[in-house]
Amino acid sequence: MASRGRHGGAPAREDERVEQQAPAPQCPVLPPPPPVDYGVFMQGLVQAMQTQAHTQAALQAQLEAQERVDVWWASLLRTRFEDGAVDVAWDEFVRLFRAKFVP
C-alpha cells in the first residue's frame, strides 16, 4: 500500500512544502557590536554609583536641615511671636536664622 499524507491525500511534494512555509523576512543584517573594554566600563559604573551616593547624601542632609529649621521656626513663632500673631520682618528672620544656623 502506498503511503499517504496526513489528510489521506497524496504525499506532498518537496516544492509544495517550501511554499507553505512563511517567507524569511528581508531585513538588513546588523554588524556585531563593537568590543567592550570591561575595565573602562566598570570604572564608569563605579563613578556613576559614587555620584549617585554623593547626590543621595546631599539630598538627605538637605531634608534633615529643612526639618530642623521647620521645627526651630515653629518653636520661635510660638515663643517669641505669639503663635504668628506678630508679623516678622524679613530682616528680623534673616538675623535670627543666621544667629542660629550660620557659624
Per-residue pLDDT tens over the stretch 21-45 = 666 667 888 898 888 898 999 999 9
pLDDT band per the 50, 70, 90 thresholds, residue 14: low
Q: In Å, how far are 12, 16, 17, 70, 99 from 20, measured between CA atoms?
A: 11, 6, 5, 75, 86
Distance in angstroms (rounded) separating the CA atoms of residues 33 and 44: 19
Per-residue pLDDT tens over the stretch 42-88 = 999 999 999 999 999 999 999 999 999 999 999 988 888 877 777 88
